[in-house]
Amino acid sequence: DNAAILATLTTRFAYVATGIAEIDDVSRTGLSGLGAVLTRRTAVDPGPPVEVDPEHDELAFYPLIYWPIAPQGPRPSFTAMQRIGTYLKNGGTIVFDTREGEGGGSGPAALRLREILRQLNLAPLAPIPDGHVLTKAFYLLSEFPGRWTGAPVWVELGDDRVNDGVSSVVIGSHDWAAAWALDQNGRPMYAAVPGGEAQRETAIRFGVNLVMYALAGNYKADQVHVEAILERLRR
């Protein structure tokens, strides 16, 4: 169908619709803004982002899905969770964002997120460790802010043989889409707190790293072996 054709002809990223216009608008403008940065700075030239409903839409077309957690929205159905589990199992990546900032670990969005995660078969989760591919997929990073900052960002600590060692989920509370969002004139729509434009630039760089991580896997981890490989080639 037309959605499949559009999704396969051009790399496109998706966001889960919450049914709350304000949140969905931030997701759309955030992914659009990140897409514009990717086009300018990298070889990735994505099409417009796509709004998806996991219960009804095919997710396999989208290598990266942004999911803002809205506790006031409806809970995902059993069918939706089955489709999400299949998407993750087959190599997709979902960025869960509670948008609650530094103190969001026990807020209503975090509680809703825990309900969702309990229904998924994930490997153990841990804050992004030093040297993780997300710290060097394109930019070298030591922090991962969005509109907010200060809270840990979590990934799976899985077997490197599964899904090329790529975590199927990235989980945080920094409201990344708001940091990436641009208006029609290309100007930021929301303040980055407390670090201002320097924080926003780091948030954008983290977004670029997320995309490279979802598209290219753990190839950057292989760089540690370059010297040994070259030495073997010389022999």
Question: Where are the strands (E) in 110-150, listed by range?
Answer: 125-127
Q: Give the mean model confidence (pLDDT) for residues 103-125.
A: 91
Which of these, 63, 11, 51, lies nearest to 35 by C-alpha position?
11
Residues 6+ apart with CB under 8 A from 99: 23, 68, 69, 109, 147, 148, 173, 174, 175, 178
Do residues 99 and 109 touch, judged by C-beta distance below 8 A?
A: yes
pLDDT above 70: residue 164: no
At 86-95, the pLDDT tens digits run 999 999 999 9
Q: Report the percent of the chain where pLDDT is more than 70.
A: 89
Average per-residue pLDDT in the chain?
Answer: 91
pLDDT the model gives residue 104: 64
pLDDT above 60: residue 52: yes
Q: Give the mean model confidence (pLDDT) for residues 49-65.
A: 96
Do residues 33 and 208 touch, judged by C-beta distance below 8 A?
A: no
pLDDT above 90: residue 98: yes
pLDDT the model gives residue 220: 52
Whole-number Å distance between alpha carbons of 45 and 231: 36
pLDDT the model gives residue 131: 87
pLDDT the model gives residue 87: 97
> Which of 94-103, 133-142, 153-162, 226-235 is the least confident region?
226-235
Whole-number Å distance between alpha carbons of 215 and 63: 7
For the whole model, what pTM was predicted? 0.91
